[in-house]
Structure 1
Amino acid sequence: MKLGKTVLYSGLITFSKTLAGFISTKVVASVVGPSGVAVIGAFINFIAIVLAFGNGAINSGIVKYTAEYKNNIQKSFKLFNTALFISVVFSAICCVILLIFSNYFSILIFTTDKYSYIIRCLGFFLLFYALNTLLISILNGRGLINVYTVVNTIGTFVSVLLTCALVYFYKVEGALYALIFSQSLMFIFTFYFFFKKTEFPKKNFKLTYNKIIGKNLFSYSFMAIITALTMPVSQIIIRNLIIESEGTDQAGIWQGIMRISDAYLLVIVTALGTYYLPKLSSLKDNGLIRKEILQGYKYVIPVTFVGLVTVFFLRNFIIRLLYTESFISMSELFLWQLIGDLFKMTSYILAYVMLAKAQVKLYIATEIIFSALYVFLSYIFISFYGVVGTTYAFALNYFLYMIILFIYFRKLLKIKNAEFKF
């Protein structure tokens, strides 16, 4: 799969997700307002954390080894079955934990125990999240981006219909339920198209565990768990800092700019995830790795720059289109948020190199350090500048992250056939 073709398919996925996101965001913002958006944002962060533990945090490992075992069907099914076993066991364990500690998690995430039943519901449906992620990771590793595109497009629009209906009838609670049920619906479509469009027979999928492959998959778990914890947890902390300093509505304004940022960067992030991780995992020659990195920058930097400039000049239109007049103060947050996005995407290509080559120590160190720095900078800047200070912290944090990665990979980037040990 070529990068250009991957970007095209990623663009289709992004278009469908963005359009669906526009509709659901508008409905949610209109019905529940900024404070409701803040609550929903907190739950999205919590789901990201739970999902990582719910399948053993082996997604990246599945993608990597699916790509490596592409020509060995026997080894591939040992991988798939081991991943299935891990997903079922870990989702069951997490389900029990969510059921027992639902009140505690509700207070931790929402500062109230009134949403404990939402936490329990998430526990019951967690297995569908895990199985959907497993199948998607296999499609990704096999380079079946066309099937991946179909699954995501259909599932996305069904999810947005569910979201609109539940929000209309049940307000904030409806939006939270929609986040849970939509993944279950996505699994139905993924399951159907996976077995319809691939050569994998259902009977070959069994709950068996291979120790060697399991060990290889779990070698990626630590990195994935750190990723799943650092960014969502840092966002939860920052959201609570904003609530304490500026109020819940301002936290909703900040959540709104984060959602816009994620939406327009989705095409790049999707392309990197579907192309670079399996591609870089399969490359052994440093010259070829360097070539892929430079080719990535050839696409990523121009696309990101055009996107952020467009978003900046259309920011007031975008706010009114996606949200309501009560969100118009968000306009002040765009400049430094978008600059931070440019630094973020510039860094991400090298971050994928760390992930693909299992550079565990560097990856974990940078994730923890820069997530903590993001929180610290936000605390400082919020105290001086209010909610706009979070965007200063975001930009500065990713600028420093980008510089550190450039320094570390400088030999690989500058010298054509560099002796760089992974």
Structure 2
Amino acid sequence: MSLVKTSLLNGIAVAIKLASALVLNKVLAIYVGPAGYAIIGQFQNVVAILVSLAGGLVAAGVTKSTAQHFDDEAKQYQVWQTAIRFSLAASLLAGVALLLVGEPLSEWLLHRSDMSNIFIWLALALPAMAANNLLLAIVNGKKEVGVYIAANISGSIVSLLLIGLLAYYFGLFGALLAFTISPAVVLLSTAALVARRYWFNLHSLWGKMDASSMRELSGFAIMGITSALAVPVSYMLIRDHIASRLGLPAAGFWQASWKISEIYLMLVTTTLGIYYLPRVAEIRTAPELKAEIIKVYRFVMPIVVVGALSIYLLRDFIIQILFTQDFQPMRELFAWQLTGDVIKIGSWVLAYIMIGRAMVRVFVITEILFSLSFFLFSWWLVDLFGLRGVAMSYALNYSLYWIVMAYFVKFEMKKMENYSTL
């Protein structure tokens, strides 16, 4: 499916997800406030880490391998079965570990000892979360864009209802509980959609682990665990530093600005995941890869730039509509945050090539290095410029990341050219 057609179809899901996110932002701003917003950000990073450790770390590998072996159904089944078995075992281990450290984790990250029960719910929900991620990865690899979009739409609606209702009735604890159980609930709708496809049957998902498939997925597991730990941990440390220097509400202001970036960049980021990753996995020659990169840049960068400028011009209106007057101090973050968004997407177009072409060593090194540098830049610039410093660090860090990605992608294309001449 073409990039434009994929984006148009994905736009439907993004529009619904955007509407849901706008409503949820307002609900959370009213019922949990800036400090609660910071706590939710910390908890979402914990969820991201655990979901990745519980099998999500091989999801990109499942997508890539499914797309790569498009003409070998037996091999696809071996990959799926291996990934499912690995994910279930990993989710059980992660759940047990979470039960053991839930109370100290609650005190450190949530600054609330009375919230430890939320980690019990999270441990119970992990297997369902992992299964849902793998089903979506399979669908993405099969290029079943319609099914993928329908699953995302149902997920947005379920999240809106659960988070909105539980936050309204139970405040911060209800919001955290909803963030825990909503991805697990979405598994039911995803399974119902996938079960209707001609290529799907239960036998294709359950079987013995295959050694060659495990080796194929192992590189993505290494990349996944690196990303699962390095990126969310750096965000948590940054929020903790902001909270210690400027107070917990200030960390909530940064989290709110980050949420705005996530919302308006949805069309671009989801299109990269749905179209670009499987496409990169298929490409065999350097000229074809170069042409694909240029095509994606021409499509996504104007969208990001126009979106960022629009958000900046409407920043006061956005704060009023999406949040409350308590969030007014986040206004100073917009210029640097939006600049960082444009730079980030530019770098991501190149960074996806590392995943699609399984450049494991480069991915691991750069992910750790730039997660660390983001934290160090934030530590330094927050002390110098206050809250604005964290957004400045974001733009600076991704500028350096883009330069490094350009170097490694150029090197990879040179290697492809040499291989094609053999």
Could you state the TM-score of these two structures normalised by the residue count of structure 2? 0.96
Distance 2:12 2:343 in 1: 25
Comparing 320-329 and 101-110, the one that deviates more = 101-110
Shift of 1:202: 2.4
User: How has the CA–CA distance of structure 1 residues 71 and 98 changed in structure 2, closer, same or farther, with 3 Å as cutoff?
Assistant: same
Aligned to 2:138: 138
DSSP-derived class of the 2:209 partner: coil
Distance 2:97 2:415 in 1: 50
Distance 2:353 2:115 in 1: 39
Distance 1:132 1:39 in 2: 25
Aligned to 1:188: 188
Write the letter of the residue equivalent to 1:371.
S
Distance 1:317 1:75 in 2: 52
Write the letter of the residue equivalent to 1:48.
A
Aligned to 1:237: 237
Question: 1:128–1:184: 8 Å Cα contact kept in structure 2?
Answer: yes
Output one character per residue of 1:315-362: Cα deviation in whole Å (capped at 9) or x when no partner: 111111110111112111000111111110000011011111111121
Write the letter of the residue equivalent to 2:22.
F
Question: 1:281–1:356: 8 Å Cα contact kept in structure 2?
Answer: yes
Distance 2:283 2:248 in 1: 48
User: How has the CA–CA distance of structure 1 residues 23 and 56 changed in structure 2, closer, same or farther, with 3 Å as cutoff?
Assistant: closer
Write the letter of the residue equivalent to 1:130.
A
Alignment of 1:298-313 (within 5 A): 298-313=298-313
Question: 1:268–1:300: 8 Å Cα contact kept in structure 2?
Answer: yes
Shift of 1:155: 2.2
Output one character per residue of 1:115-162: Cα deviation in whole Å (capped at 9) or x when no partner: 211111100110110000010000110111111111111221122011
Distance 2:264 2:101 in 1: 36
Shift of 1:205: 2.7
Question: 1:346–1:402: 8 Å Cα contact kept in structure 2?
Answer: yes
Shift of 1:377: 0.8
Question: 1:412–1:418: 8 Å Cα contact kept in structure 2?
Answer: no
Distance 1:359 1:268 in 2: 23
DSSP-derived class of the 1:319 partner: helix
Aligned to 2:264: 264
Aligned to 1:83: 83
Distance 2:414 2:176 in 1: 48
Aligned to 2:157: 157
Question: 1:286–1:418: 8 Å Cα contact kept in structure 2?
Answer: no
Distance 1:280 1:221 in 2: 19
Distance 1:361 1:187 in 2: 33
Question: 2:80–2:204: 8 Å Cα contact kept in structure 1?
Answer: no
Question: 1:9–1:149: 8 Å Cα contact kept in structure 2?
Answer: yes
Distance 2:192 2:49 in 1: 27
Alignment of 1:245-264 (within 5 A): 245-264=245-264
Write the letter of the residue equivalent to 1:73.
E
Distance 1:343 1:402 in 2: 7
Aligned to 1:333: 333
Distance 2:112 2:318 in 1: 32
Aligned to 1:37: 37
Aligned to 1:70: 70
Aligned to 1:49: 49
Write the letter of the residue equivalent to 1:314.
L
Where structure 2 has 5 or more consecutive residues not aligned to the other structure, the ranges are: none
Distance 1:42 1:19 in 2: 23
Distance 1:414 1:202 in 2: 42
Aligned to 1:96: 96
Aligned to 2:275: 275
Comparing 113-122 and 160-169, the one that deviates more = 113-122
Output one character per residue of 1:360-401: Cα deviation in whole Å (capped at 9) or x when no partner: 121111111111111111111111111111011111111111
User: How has the CA–CA distance of structure 1 residues 72 and 417 changed in structure 2, closer, same or farther, with 3 Å as cutoff?
Assistant: closer
Shift of 1:277: 1.1
Shift of 1:419: 7.2
Question: 1:82–1:213: 8 Å Cα contact kept in structure 2?
Answer: yes
Question: 1:290–1:416: 8 Å Cα contact kept in structure 2?
Answer: no
User: How has the CA–CA distance of structure 1 residues 316 and 197 changed in structure 2, closer, same or farther, with 3 Å as cutoff?
Assistant: farther
Question: 1:56–1:90: 8 Å Cα contact kept in structure 2?
Answer: no
Shift of 1:420: 9.4
Distance 2:158 2:69 in 1: 33
Aligned to 1:15: 15
DSSP-derived class of the 1:196 partner: coil
Distance 1:330 1:322 in 2: 12
DSSP-derived class of the 1:294 partner: helix
Distance 1:164 1:56 in 2: 26
Shift of 1:11: 1.6
Question: 2:340–2:396: 8 Å Cα contact kept in structure 1?
Answer: yes
Distance 1:351 1:388 in 2: 27
Write the letter of the residue equivalent to 2:135.
L
State yes or no: 1:316 paired with 2:326.
no
Shift of 1:207: 4.1
Shift of 1:70: 1.8
User: How has the CA–CA distance of structure 1 residues 212 and 414 changed in structure 2, closer, same or farther, with 3 Å as cutoff?
Assistant: closer
Give me the CA root mean square deviation: 1.9
Distance 2:206 2:337 in 1: 46
Shift of 1:416: 12
Question: 2:26–2:323: 8 Å Cα contact kept in structure 1?
Answer: yes
Distance 1:412 1:206 in 2: 36
Write the letter of the residue equivalent to 1:100.
L
Could you state the TM-score of these two structures normalised by the residue count of structure 1? 0.96
Distance 1:342 1:258 in 2: 13
Write the letter of the residue equivalent to 1:251.
A
Output one character per residue of 1:184-212: Cα deviation in whole Å (capped at 9) or x when no partner: 22111100001123431224431421111
Write the letter of the residue equivalent to 2:264.
Y
Number of corresponding residues: 421
Shift of 1:83: 1.2
Distance 1:172 1:160 in 2: 15
Aligned to 1:407: 407
Shift of 1:264: 0.8
Distance 1:294 1:145 in 2: 23
Question: 1:287–1:418: 8 Å Cα contact kept in structure 2?
Answer: no
User: How has the CA–CA distance of structure 1 residues 205 and 359 changed in structure 2, closer, same or farther, with 3 Å as cutoff?
Assistant: closer
Write the letter of the residue equivalent to 1:19.
A
Aligned to 2:217: 217
Shift of 1:411: 6.4
DSSP-derived class of the 2:386 partner: helix
